Amino acid sequence: MGCHCGRARRAARRIGNGRGPCRLLSPPAALGADARGGAATILGPMASPSKAYHLTTFGCQMNEHDSERMKGMLESLGYGEADSRDQAELILFNTCSIREKADNRLAGHLGEAKRLKSEDPDKVIGVGGCWSQSMKERVFEQFPFVDVAFGPGQVHRLAEFLTSDSITAQGYFEFEGFTGHLPMRRARDFQAWIQISVGCNCKCAYCIVPSTRGREVSRPAAELVAEARRLAADGVREVTLLGQNVNSYGRDLPSSAKASFAELLAMVDAVEGIDRIRYTSPHPKDMREDVIRAHAELESVCEHIHLPLQAGSSRVLKAMRRTYDRGRYMDRVAMIRDVLPDVALTTDIIVGFPGETEAEFCETLEVAEQVAYDSAFTFVFSPRRETTAAELADPVAHDVKRERMQRLVEVVQRRAAERSQRFVGRRMEVLVEGRSRNDPDRLRGRTRHNKTVNFTGPGEAGEMVWVDIESATSTTLAGHADAADEPAIPGRLVERQLT
């Protein structure tokens, strides 16, 4: 737990974060790396600084983070970012394949890249990420205009391709590990992701991720703490620990370097300057008491837990191979609510898994009703290549899925709106992210509970301010900050109830 003097120092840093991200390697050089995130090696000379790239990212935070690494790496090679594809010599896509919709969206974008390449054959088209991995060499058969394709673990191979003399199309699909050593270009100076593990050892019947991201491999805790320290020195105040199953972290590490996820949280919490720690995604089967207690005991660990339910029926959960049943899930929720009554709980739910009956779907509604999530991502089941669920008989009719989805969204939103009212009348610590999207006269930020707040009053992106919450909907809070108010001191220990 951070000490009191640490908190005072953090508060003193409130005004501005002053330090821009380190964007270029000095001297610029093409980077490669050993297989498991070891030291970077020089691959070749800097490419022409006049070249421009355009990168489109699809999918989850993992991909967003990989894209930050791609951008950092390209800029260290001398590329600049173009505003549109037609201005770029290098057109890149970091792809997702989690649901069919993701594939379809990509197809349209690739069509545009094909047209641009036919107008200017010197353009280089690159496709990275999970879709690319799941298609492997078929990418080149179906999309012959693609020059380079690579999976999520081979971001650094892009540099190798760009600095080589190769004129033939290349595919890189071996699992090789982390991008943690690559330069990074963050979207915001004060927030950062830290990838703590890659891959997933679960076998959820519907999910393509294990085949696109491989077996789970954890990064050593010492390396992660060093990264957190570097980020803090660079002005980062909030980190999100990333992994497909973050709370199974560390089990594969050698005994000399063993650390559990709860221990890792404590190590990052001790890093001076990191005021907020978030993580995504945990798996309910691994949500142990030590992790739940870390939220109560560690000052920087935020009051938000994402606990993916997927389905409320134990039979469906078994068919999904989730390895917990409704009872065990609800026990976890009870423990969380016991230790952390105020914590925000969010979830993922799939509607219309093959064979889901009306009665089974009603069990999902019951759980959503009972838990009263602060928000939920709801998905219609989508059959994915190389998953066992794609082969299951009795798919639920499209209309039925749609109708169930509407009923689920109604319950989730109603309960979230009700639960949100607990924030009204409270003065909450908000990390300012920028201007409100709908109203430029207001600011937008996030509470530790991960609720978006639109508010009036002073504040700059990257600052912590106190906001008096005046109203709440299912998704957002609204309020005002007072110019005369003292700076917000990070940590729930000092959150105050308004009288």
Contact call for residues 430 and 468 (beta carbons, < 8 A):
no
- By the 10 Å C-beta count (0-12 exposed, 13-18 middle, 19+ buried), 420 is classed as buried
Verify binding: residue 209, ligand SAH, rule CB under 6 A: yes
99 binds, among ligand SF4, ligand SAH, ligand F3S, none (CB under 5 to 8 A by kind): ligand SAH
Cα 182 from Cα 71, distance rounded (Å):
10
Nearest Cα neighbor of 5 from 238, 272, 235 is: 272
Residue from 130, 162, 246, 367 touching ligand F3S (CB under 6 A): that is 130
CB of 98 to ligand F3S, least distance (A): 4
Nearest Cα neighbor of 411 from 400, 421, 419 is: 419
Residue from 69, 186, 283, 295 touching ligand SF4 (CB under 6 A): that is 283
Verify binding: residue 478, ligand SF4, rule CB under 6 A: no
Cα 280 from Cα 260, distance rounded (Å):
15
Contact call for residues 197 and 246 (beta carbons, < 8 A):
yes
Verify binding: residue 92, ligand F3S, rule CB under 6 A: no
Cβ closer to ligand SAH: 207 or 431? Answer: 207
Residue owning tokens 């989805």: 405
Contact call for residues 154 and 212 (beta carbons, < 8 A):
no
Q: Which stretch binds ligand F3S (CB under 6 A): 25-33, 175-183, 208-216, 373-381?
A: 208-216
Give me 278's structure tokens. Answer: 């978030």
Q: Which stretch binds ligand F3S (CB under 6 A): 32-40, 205-213, 386-394, 426-434?
A: 205-213
Give me 173's structure tokens. Answer: 């699909």
Residue from 17, 76, 97, 280 touching ligand F3S (CB under 6 A): that is 97
Residue with the closest Cβ to ligand F3S? 59
Coil, helix or strand at residue 412? helix
Verify binding: residue 445, ligand SAH, rule CB under 6 A: no
Cβ closer to ligand SAH: 179 or 310? Answer: 310
Verify binding: residue 213, ligand F3S, rule CB under 6 A: yes
62 binds, among ligand F3S, ligand SF4, ligand SAH, none (CB under 5 to 8 A by kind): ligand F3S
Verify binding: residue 210, ligand SF4, rule CB under 6 A: yes
Alpha-carbon distance values, 9 to 198, 295, 364, 391 (Å) = 34, 22, 46, 57
Radius of gyration of the chain (CA): 23
DSSP 220: P
Interface residues with ligand SF4 (CB under 6 A)? 200, 202, 204, 207, 209-210, 244-245, 283
Positions in the binding site for ligand F3S (CB under 6 A)? 59-60, 62-63, 96-98, 129-130, 208-209, 212-213
Residues that bind ligand SAH (CB under 6 A): 98-99, 206-207, 209, 244-245, 281, 283, 308, 310, 348, 350, 379, 381-382, 384
